[in-house]
Amino acid sequence: MTSDFHPSPLAFEPSKFTRPFWDACRRHVLQAASCNACSHLFLPAGPVCPQCWSADLGAEALSGRGEIAAFTIYRQAYHPDYPVPYVIALIALKEGPRLISNIVGCAPESVASGMSVTVRFASRGEFVLPLFVPAMAEDSNDA
């Protein structure tokens, strides 16, 4: 092994519970696990509803819109495929579930808690990732 060996941070195998989420991302659909017993929406998907413990689960497509609940700006590089600075954020999705992702399409210094964001899908190797951009930037791209 040389010092140039950098295994991909995305070299993982989705579980039978999380695979539907990643398959939906390939279709550019952000979806949450849904509980057929109590209607709770949650991420990541798992074997039971974290609210009522029912195993009667489905999936529901989300709007892809939300707000930044918390964030940090990474200034230390941990992998050559991820040049700094970049933003890791906890996103409170409009429908309730929370998701950790990157904020892209803006200067890291412009990111703020409470900022409205919308999903933008990006291919990374064999995965399609749900990244987020400021909602204003997404709106201007629609024009």
72 binds Zn ion (CB under 5 A): no
Q: Which two tokens stand for residue 36?
A: 């057929």
59 binds Zn ion (CB under 5 A): no
Q: Which is nearer to Zn ion, 41 or 99 (CB)?
A: 41
Residue selected from 6, 8, 15, 54 as contacting Zn ion according to rule CB under 5 A: 54
Distance CA 64, CA 29 (A): 8
Distance CA 64, CA 24 (A): 12
Distance CA 87, CA 104 (A): 7
Phi, psi dihedrals of residue 8, rounded to the nearest 5°: -65, 135
Beta strands in the chain (DSSP E): 31-35, 41-42, 57-61, 65-74, 86-93, 98-103, 116-124, 127-134
Q: At closest approach, how far in Å is the CB of 39 from Zn ion?
A: 7
Q: Which is nearer to Zn ion, 32 or 89 (CB)?
A: 32
Residue selected from 8, 10, 28, 51 as contacting Zn ion according to rule CB under 5 A: 51
40 binds Zn ion (CB under 5 A): yes
Determine the size of the site formed for Zn ion (CB under 5 A): 8
Residue selected from 38, 55, 61, 88 as contacting Zn ion according to rule CB under 5 A: 38
Q: Which stretch binds Zn ion (CB under 5 A): 16-24, 25-33, 34-42, 105-113?
A: 34-42
55 binds Zn ion (CB under 5 A): no
Distance CA 22, CA 77 (A): 26
Chain positions contacting Zn ion, by CB under 5 A: 35, 37-38, 40, 49, 51-52, 54
